[in-house]
Each structure stands twice: as structure tokens, then as C-alpha cells.
Amino acid sequence: MTIAPAPDAHPARTQAATIGAIVLCGVALPFLPVADFYIQQAFVLFFFIALAQSWNILGGYSGYLSLGHAAFVGMGGYTVASLYFLFGASPFWTFPLAGVAAAIVALIIGAICMRIRGSYFLIATMLVLFIMQSLALNLRPVTNGANGIDLPLFTDDYELEGRIWYFCGLALAIATSGIAFLIEHSRFGLNLMAIREDEDVARTMGVRVVHCKAAAFVISAALAGIAGAFYTYRAHIIEPFTAFSLDLSAAPILMAIMGGSRKWIGPIVGATIFDIISTTLTLSVGNESSDIVFALFLILVVLLLPQGLVGLAATLRLRGIGAKRRAVEEPGK
């Protein structure tokens, strides 16, 4: 009797080994003779990975698309910046408070918005973004208004500062990806996916829909707030129009969709490709032309690969396994 070849018997081990190798390469990179530009750009990539993972917990797993994600990024950034501005508190020690502040805001917003769905939810989250921007502009005693807030350096050594932030960004990307992995493989994650497929059916099956969505919203916001605090302190400045920009809300959506929003690995793939292509186009053809070319590329990806690059890879892998099985079972054909 002929036995068809089985797929990888230990996919989890293979996946873990691959991820471990990537992390080790990431840890080793700053100790290699590479230009400072790549160290700085790596931090931006890590920030985007964290941002895409945080958005995907709500938008990818539960299917609730939010256009206001930058509201929590800005909230986290302004938390550490305002505490420094008002009390001189080191932003390095106030990172956890950035996540707490963003989570509290999400809890308040979620109490109102979690009972609406579809385009209404999309519009509501976008309005929250503009409200937060307006508050940052007008609460001058706390935010310094349109002038923004300048933040201190870690050290006067530019190269050392870049490497410190590299490892901070790497830790942030690993932590957010780990949380996304745990959620995806938990009962909570299964409930979110059930809501994404059909919210009404999920409710009849006993899923506490509103509570699950609210929890995902709060977790997503908290992670975005911490990421925003890291990015703000690294940039050494924050101001309302950058912190609460619609571009910053759209970026994680595009990254997650490009990579594949149904798997935790998707935002990592999407953010990496997004950052590489965006940086390459900017350096080669300039900002305006690169935006046009990149927008066309993203449109093609969304239209041709609705499940993202990770979904495409899984489909091709299954087809390859199927072809091998047919070849073994029907050798004469």
C-alpha cells in the first residue's frame, strides 16, 4: 500500500525554529558593521510591526475595522510627553502609564461604540481620532498646543542612543507579536474569529459578543499606546497633527491586510514588506512619486490577494501537498 507524503509533521517546531533564528539575527544586527541608517530604520520597522499587531487584534481577528487607531498611538505619546512636560518625569519610566491611559480611553469609547458595526463603527473611530487631535491642540497647559513637546535624549552618544532604541523596538515587536500569538490560539481568539465570520451566529452560540469586542478594543489600544510612547520618545518630539494623523491610522490596516490579517504572522510580513518597499521608493523616486506607486501596489495586493501574502503562501503549500499526494496515489497518470 502506498502512503501519501504527509505535510510537515511538526509545523509548530519548524515555525518556532524559524522565528528563533530571526530573533537571533535581530539581536546580532547592532553588533555587525552596518550603517547607522539601517539601525534607525530597523526601529521604525519594529514600531510598525507593533502597530500592525495591535490593530490586528481588533480589526483582523474580530473583523471590526478601525480608522482611529492613531488616537491611541497619540494618546500614549502624549501621556509620556505631558508627564515630562508637567513634572519632569522620565518618559522611559512612564511607558506603562501610556498603555493604561490608552486602555482607559478605549474602555470609554468602547462602551459607546461596541454596539454598532460596519461603516458606522468605522466612522465613529475616525471621529474619535479628530476629537483627540482637537483636544491636543486646545489643552495647551497640558499638551503645549500646536508647538508640541520636546523630549530629552538618552545620551549624547548618537550611535549608542540608536542601538538602545533598536533593542527597545525589538523587544516591543516581540512582545506585541507574542501577545497576538497567544490570543490567536486561545478561546478568546476563537470567539473573536467567530464574531468576524458571523456576529449573530456567534451570539446564538453563547459568545459574549460585546464583552469580547470591548476586551479586544482595550488590548489593541493599550498596545498601540505603548508603541506610541516608544515612538514619541525616540523621535524626541510630539505634536498634534503628526501624533493623530489619518496616515498613521491607515498604515497598520494596509500592513495587516497585505501580510494577512487572519494570522499573527501576517502583520509582521506586511509591515516588513511595507517598510522595505516604501523606503526603497522614497530613496529612489522621491516622496510624492513613491506614494503614487506604492498606492497602486497596495490596490493590486488587496484586489488580487484578499487573504494577504500569508494566505497565498498557505494556499500554494496546500496545492503542493495535494499535487504530491495525487502523484503518489496515481503514479500512472
Cell numbers of 282, please?
Answer: 522614497
158 has pLDDT over 60: yes
8 has pLDDT over 60: no
Contact at 8 Å (CB) between 266 and 259? yes
125 CA to centre of own chain: 17
Least trusted range by pLDDT, from 2-6, 131-135, 153-157, 278-282 = 2-6
Least trusted range by pLDDT, from 93-102, 105-114, 192-201, 283-292 = 283-292
Select the more confidently predicted residue: 68 or 304. Answer: 68
pTM as predicted: 0.88
- Residue 224: predicted pLDDT: 97
Q: Compute the average pLDDT of residues 6-22.
A: 61
For 305, the 3-state DSSP assignment is coil
Residues 6+ apart with CB under 8 A from 259: 52, 265, 266, 267, 268, 269, 270, 271, 272, 273, 308, 309, 310
Confidence of residue 3 (pLDDT cuts 50, 70, 90): very low
- Residue 294: predicted pLDDT: 67
Q: Compute the average pLDDT of residues 143-150.
A: 94
- Residue 323: predicted pLDDT: 64
Q: What are the Cα distances from residue 239, in Å, to 62, 74, 83? A: 32, 9, 15
Select the more confidently predicted residue: 212 or 289. Answer: 212
Closest CA to 169 of 284, 275, 298, 294: 275
Select the more confidently predicted residue: 171 or 308. Answer: 171
Least trusted range by pLDDT, from 89-93, 228-232, 237-241 = 89-93
Sole residue written with cell 530573533: 23
Contact at 8 Å (CB) between 298 and 278? no
Contact at 8 Å (CB) between 58 and 66? yes
DSSP 332: T
Contact at 8 Å (CB) between 309 and 297? no
Q: Compute the average pLDDT of residues 208-232.
A: 95
d(CA 92, CA 97): 11
- Mean pLDDT score of the chain, rounded to an integer? 85
**pLDDT single digits (tens) 253-308:** 889 988 988 889 999 999 998 888 888 877 776 666 666 766 777 777 777 777 77
Q: Give the start-to-end residue ranges of the domains of the chain.
A: 34-245
User: Percentage of residues in the chain with pLDDT exceeding 70?
Assistant: 85
For 329, other C-beta atoms within 10 Å of its C-beta total 11
DSSP 93-110: G-HHHHHHHHHHHHHHHH
The CA-CA-CA angle for residues 76, 80, 85, to 5°, reads: 135
The single-letter code of the amino acid at 219 is: I
Select the more confidently predicted residue: 286 or 188. Answer: 188
- Residue 1: predicted pLDDT: 42
| Start-to-end CA span in the chain (Å) | 17
187 has pLDDT over 90: yes
Q: Compute the average pLDDT of residues 148-174.
A: 89
Q: Compute the average pLDDT of residues 77-92.
A: 93
Which range in 103-112, 150-159, 315-324 is most confidently predicted, on average pLDDT? 103-112
Q: Where are the beta strands (DSSP E) in 101-256?
A: 149-150, 237-238
Confidence of residue 326 (pLDDT cuts 50, 70, 90): low
